[in-house]
A and B are shown apart, each in its own frame.
Chain A
Amino acid sequence: MSFTVFATAIISAMLINNVILMQFLGICPFLGVSKKSSSAIGMSAAVLFVMVIASAVTYTIYDLVLFPFDIPYISTIAFILVIASLVQFVEMVIKKFSKPLYKSLGIYLPLITTNCAILGVSEGNITGIWTETTPYWEGLFTAVSVSIGTGLGFGLIIFAFSSIREKLDGSNVPAAWKGVPISLVVAGIMSLAFLGLAGII
């Protein structure tokens, strides 16, 4: 548990293995919600929030419940149920304690249940970080660091992309390329730029 682990996890999850451009998780909100910068920021804040909580909870469940009881094959079912109920629970808590936060995040929270980025990061934590011998707290710390980095990377890309898209709306695009096709090609060019960051760690 050290700052180096934290910083490495953040940089590698945010810039090098970017969740959208390199791992292709969360493409639906990437194409759907990124039409306006304000909604992009709201969505990415909600994703970051849920992602950190969800990865901590799923890692804990896997390490302390599923593995000791010898039922790790059930992880997919357990994780999706935990995430779905967690999102509902978070929504209720926010509604109760912070009205302004609920107003800004509320509409995005139900969309997150079927966001593959959350389940993808939870599963990735198990295959990538979890081992039989890793102490619980150390693994949990790494998992949370990776999920913070992933959430920040999601926010960075979705905000940058929404800014590009606002510019794109005013430009003269051929009819066949209008809408999703040109957005995908723009994403491809962004992905090329991020490919250049591979290998800096």
Chain B
Amino acid sequence: MSKKENFLKGFFKENPIFVFLLGMCPALAVTATFETSLGMGLLVVLVLTGSNIVVSLVKNYIPDQVRTPSYIVIIATFVTVVKMLTFAYAIDLYDALGVFLPLIVVNCLILGRAEAFASKNNVIDSAIDGIGMGLGFTFALVVIGVFREFLATGGIMWGVYLPFFVDAPIHLFTLDWIINLFADGFVIADYGLAVFSLPPGAFIALGIILASFQFKRSRQLKKEEDEKKRFIEEKKKIAMEKKKAKALAAAKLVKAGE
């Protein structure tokens, strides 16, 4: 596998949430807004890359019997570092993520990558795998977060939880101005589907997104199957024609003999 493939596999082919259903708890819990999902995803990227690098460095010194506990300690150390960094630089994000920040420790994705990839590969490949898989996880979280925030409020905010680049919270995207062309003083947030920012909306939104993925995949599978069927039929046809030709030739020979 080339380095580019290694990096890109986390986005669609081996996406942790949409394909493997790993790390579903944060995917449901912290995706109420675009910003919290992005923040959570980037923290997971940091932890996953760090733990992958350290695990691949020390893999030869860890006895096989205590492998999993040692990996968990490495991951927990990185989670503690990341927790303190978030507390120092983005206190609102820290409050919004709450218990799910320490819970990165038990995210199956991170332990899974440590066991399945970093303990068998060298440092550079493991680091690339960590960044790629982490960004794939972030991509999935952001898709869910944008879907939910847009349906709940009719816009995407920036600057509430991640106070970088801007002084005050701004709208990255909003539908207000389109509707204001027709009706003045209309605030779309008052008419949002508030359920999508609440727990039930999380389940339903993730269900809809997973179903669309499954729909696409089932169509692809059907296409492949059809192609296979056509291929087999063509081969059968060719074989039949060959048989026919052979039989004809044999009949001719017989005739000629008479």
Interface residues of A (CB under 8 A from B): 21-28, 31, 73-77, 80-81, 84, 114-116, 119-120, 123-124, 127, 175-185, 187-189, 191-192, 195
B interface bracket (residues with beta carbon within 8 Å of A): 35 or more
Q: Is B21 in the interface zone, CB < 8 Å from A?
A: yes
Majority-rule SS of A interface residues: helix
Give the complex CA separation of A153 and B237 in angstroms: 62
Cross-chain contact A77 with B76 (CB below 8 angstroms): yes
Q: Is B25 in the interface zone, CB < 8 Å from A?
A: yes
Closest Cβ of chain B to A54, distance in Å, is: 13
Which residues from B are CB-within-8-Å of A21? 199-200
Cross-chain contact A24 with B80 (CB below 8 angstroms): no
Cross-chain contact A81 with B195 (CB below 8 angstroms): no
5 closest A-B pairs (Cβ-Cβ)? A188-B203, A184-B207, A176-B215, A24-B29, A181-B211
Partner of B76, one of A27, A80, A192: A80
Partner of A181, one of B24, B103, B202, B207: B207
Best-buried of A84, A189, A192 by chain B (most CB within 10 Å): A192
Q: Is B180 in the interface zone, CB < 8 Å from A?
A: no
Closest Cβ of chain A to B198, distance in Å, is: 7
Binds A, one of B7-15, B53-61, B104-112, B120-128: B104-112
Q: Is B146 in the interface zone, CB < 8 Å from A?
A: no
Cross-chain contact A178 with B204 (CB below 8 angstroms): no
Which residues from A are CB-within-8-Å of B105? 76, 80, 119
Closest Cβ of chain A to B47, distance in Å, is: 12
Partner of A73, one of B21, B84, B203, B212: B84
Give the complex CA separation of A36 and B80 in angstroms: 38
In this complex, what residue of A is CB-closest to B22? A28
Beyond A22-B199, A175-B214: 4 further Cβ-contacts under 8 Å?
Answer: A24-B202, A25-B103, A114-B111, A116-B106
Cross-chain contact A176 with B218 (CB below 8 angstroms): yes
Which residues from B are CB-within-8-Å of A184? 203-204, 206-207, 210
Closest Cβ of chain A to B213, distance in Å, is: 9
Cross-chain contact A76 with B29 (CB below 8 angstroms): no
Which residues from A are CB-within-8-Å of B80? 73-74, 76-77
Which residues from B are CB-within-8-Å of A31? 21, 24
Cross-chain contact B203 with A191 (CB below 8 angstroms): yes
Which residues from A are CB-within-8-Å of B106? 80, 114-116, 119
Cross-chain contact B24 with A27 (CB below 8 angstroms): yes
Contact with A along B65-109 (1 / 0, CB 8 A): 000010011001101100110000000000000110011011110
Q: Is B163 in the interface zone, CB < 8 Å from A?
A: no
Give the complex CA separation of A181 and B209 in angstroms: 8
23 residue pairs of the A-B complex, CB under 8 angstroms, read A21-B199, A23-B29, A26-B25, A73-B84, A77-B77, A80-B72, A81-B73, A81-B76, A84-B69, A84-B72, A123-B99, A124-B99, A127-B99, A176-B214, A177-B211, A181-B211, A181-B214, A184-B210, A185-B204, A188-B200, A188-B203, A191-B200, A195-B199
Best-buried of A73, A77, A123, A182 by chain B (most CB within 10 Å): A77
Give the complex CA separation of A189 and B202 in angstroms: 11
Closest Cβ of chain B to A129, distance in Å, is: 13
Give the complex CA separation of A21 and B204 in angstroms: 12
Q: Is B251 in the interface zone, CB < 8 Å from A?
A: no
- Residues of chain B from 186 to 212 with CB closer than 8 A to chain A in the complex: 195, 198-204, 206-208, 210-212
